[in-house]
Structure 1
Amino acid sequence: MTALHQEHTEHGTHRHGPGCGHSAVPHGDHTDFAHDGHLHREHEGHWDECEPAGHAPHQGHEHVHHDECGHAQVRHGDHVDYLHDGHRHAEHGDHWDDH
């Protein structure tokens, strides 16, 4: 799945990084930062909204995430993503989506 390139123009001068106060979310070859219910990633001198392009069910995901499952939680819009094996899972109907 490819993320859309959507620059976050209202980001301001805040620089995400270790100790900035926002949750760091490892994501493939980069790190996203959870900020105000959405995710940012640094990209060529600016910050992008890091959102999936389309619907991608996580096939074969037997584990059910919940408050005490042991995986880090990141508030993302109107739901919670769970960090699992280097990617984010979001509950969607009767399955989990891979963000």
Structure 2
Amino acid sequence: MTSHLEHVSHPHVHGPDCGHTQVRHGDHVEYAHGGHLHREHGGHWDECEPGGHVPHEGHDHRHGEGCGHESVLHGDHVDYLHDGHRHAAHDGHWDDH
């Protein structure tokens, strides 16, 4: 679940050919842009931030440079795109964003 935090003054319109990495997330697409993930919502763009701590149980794969999964800078950490999820390292495990 993500919190609803509107990205104020975001004149760029994201889309399939805008040049930013697309991340499929549930029923919508998020776009990686400037260390943020944005999604269209009700005529504006929202910041996509996790609404809680959700560990990805049973995820033995270790993400990192050269692991084969796309990485997206997200604030102060890197998310890895894997099987329709965004994974981020946290306290010795992977969180499912």
Give 1:87's aligned amino acid.
H
Q: Within 2, Cα distance between the matches of 1:39 and 1:80?
A: 12
Equivalences for residues 1-99 of structure 1 within 5 A: 2-11=1-10, 13-99=11-97
Give 2:22's aligned amino acid.
A
Q: Provide, for residues 9-64 of structure 1, a one-character-per-residue CA deviation record: whole Å limited to 9, x for no partner.
A: 121x2100112121111111110001110100001111001111011111111110
Q: Within 2, Cα distance between the matches of 1:78 and 1:5?
A: 20
- Secondary structure of the residue that 2:65 maps to in structure 1? coil
- Greater than 6 Å deviation, 4+ residue runs: none
TM-score of the two chains, using structure 2 as the length reference: 0.95
Identity of aligned residues (%): 68
Matched residues, number: 97
Q: Provide, for residues 60-84 of structure 1, a one-character-per-residue CA deviation record: whole Å limited to 9, x for no partner.
A: 1111001111111101111110001
Q: Within 2, Cα distance between the matches of 1:79 and 1:5?
A: 20
Gaps of 5+ in 1: none
Give 2:13's aligned amino acid.
R
Gaps of 5+ in 2: none
